[in-house]
A and B are shown apart, each in its own frame.
Chain A
Amino acid sequence: MPKVVSVHSYRGGTGKSNFTANLATTVAALGHRVGVVDTDVPSPGIHNLFCLEPEQMGKTLNNYLWGESPIEDTAYDVSSNVGLNSGGTLYLVPSSVKADDIARILNNGYDVKLMNDGFRSLVKALKLDYLFIDTHPGLSKETFLSIAISHVLILILRPDKQDYQGTAVTIDVARQLNVRKMLLAINKAHSKLNLEALKQKVEETYSETVAGVFPLSEDIVQLASEGVFCVKYPEHPVSQEFRRVALQITEG
């Protein structure tokens, strides 16, 4: 049975898209067929990490939501862009970066039912093993939907007070939606912190599993938002941490 994995954070700037790109690629590299949908319609960005330039994009998620195109026609095979050559396949459904397209979605909204039905059609049409949903930060109907539909919800937080509070709110919502499996990921942890103690503290606070702790990494910052880190530096500790998180998704 295919699995839907939603990656979410309450606030922006947690490194959500970067995390999603690395995790999805790691799972694909295990030999799976993986799709990523950028549902961050107001501020799309994950296409950069998969080296898909706006001028290479024909149809996007927006066209599907406007009823202009089947969702599978908006998916791009980005396996070779990210350097996957081990048998796995990676698709991306990008959101449009054109200002007018974003404005049209914001003005007119769209029926969240379409998003649900689109995810299912995509999984069927591309025979996906895993579907990753990159979401807009904060809570909205779309986030509620992506939380409700997911088999695994990954909440990303940074070790600071604002993120702690917001994550608590999101966890409440996720429990209300009977989410099947919830994992926390701590990102941008300062190198002076005791990471193991931090992990324990967060697990105690929320009574949820912390799947991985990622230190604030200059290496990743250096690579900026072009390319997927864990493919370029597979032996780096950060890449190894992504593999540990990936196994919790594929084996759980």
Chain B
Amino acid sequence: MSDLGNLQSLTSSIAAVTSPFRNYLNDLHEKYRSLNEGKVADYIPELALAKPEWFGICVVTQDGHVFEVGDCDQLFTIQSISKAFVFGLALEDHGREYVNSKVSVEPTGEAFNSIVLDEVTNRPYNPMVNAGAIATTDLIKGKNGTERLKRLLEMFERYTGRVHDINVPVFLSEKATGYRNRAMAYLMLNFGMVSHNIDETLDLYFQQCSIVVNAKDLAMMAATLANGGVNPVTKKRAIDERYVQDVISVMLTCGMYDASGEWAYRVGLPAKSGVGGGITAIAPGKLGIGTFSPLLDAKGNSVRGIKVCEDLSREFGLHLFNVTTPERKLHDWIAGGDGINDW
């Protein structure tokens, strides 16, 4: 019995390597690896160390098949991608109504670090801009900063199936230079939108942005949401199923900074990007995409990551509102067979 299990596990890992779908991803990687537009984030010295040539694409399907191409093990900091997932934990801690009383879900059209609050309710616009993310992090329960960080790290572990650490130099740099975020937090404190525990919350916010992940983690996180909140490989639940739709819908409307509208129109996949170079994108009920390339456009999104998501969405008909028959059928490309010409 165990012999057969071993054989199946080896054959399925080999099948993932030779699958036409991975070959397609390999061709995509080849197509965009010479695209050298954009620049590496350099507002803190640690991020500027990223090599422009780093480039990884990973896709995890809803039934747990993993397809990796390029630098999928290269570690980097999660940055803003953390915001979507911390929003999910805040919802679990307090419920929808209370969280919404502290943070709106309206796209801003403003840059991610803008200092604007809703003039009537004083709420920050949404959990994906820095102000909203700080207010969201403020809601994470725990009796002290250590316990709150532990809860965040354990949540990411449920999503990825892997233990996570924070990059301490990045955290300290973010903390040392985060005057703007500090100002936002105090502005919100002035309006009573965050607790007085502001230094601890800011530390936690800088720590959550400094969590170390790779492209495979991002694909697994997206696949977990695509699979209704259950990690498709470990089969462990990462988030209460009631809040999966909250997280995904805010990603669709606000996940790609002030390029979210165009992204929803052109790509149509709920996604979240970070200045570390990562993008996590969800095709609900189908798969999760994780890309990593640190060259960013003017809005802070990974240039190659955008291209990869655009191509995947177009060619496999992954756009949420697509009703046409796609050029390539996802199932056939994953399973392989004689009908597929991947050469």
Contact = CB atoms under 8 A, between A and B. Distances in A.
A and B physically associate? yes
Contact of A1 (B7, B337, B343): B343
Nearest to B15: A148
A144 B11 contact: yes
A160 interface: no
B10 A120 contact: no
Contacts, number: 44
Nearest to A115: B17
Nearest to B30: A121
Contact of A144 (B10, B68, B338, B341): B10
A2 B343 contact: yes
B26 A177 contact: no
* Chain A CB within 10 Å, residue with most, of B8, B337, B341, B343: B343
B298 interface: no
Nearest to B336: A178
A144 B26 contact: no
B343 A177 contact: no
A112 interface: yes
B80 interface: no
A176 B17 contact: no
A244 interface: no
A177 B14 contact: yes
B137 interface: no
A113 B343 contact: no
Contacts of A113: 17, 68-69
Interface string B8-50: 1011001101100011001000000000000000000000000
B18 A117 contact: no
A112 B17 contact: yes
Contacts of B69: 113
Contact of A116 (B18, B336, B343): B18
Contacts of A112: 14, 17
User: What 6 A-B pairs are tightest by C-beta distance, nearest first?
Assistant: A148-B18, A144-B14, A149-B18, A176-B11, A148-B14, A116-B17
Interface of A: 1-2, 112-113, 116-117, 120, 123-124, 141, 144-145, 148-149, 173, 176-178, 180
9 contacts: A1-B343, A120-B23, A123-B343, A141-B10, A148-B18, A178-B15, A178-B336, A178-B337, A180-B338
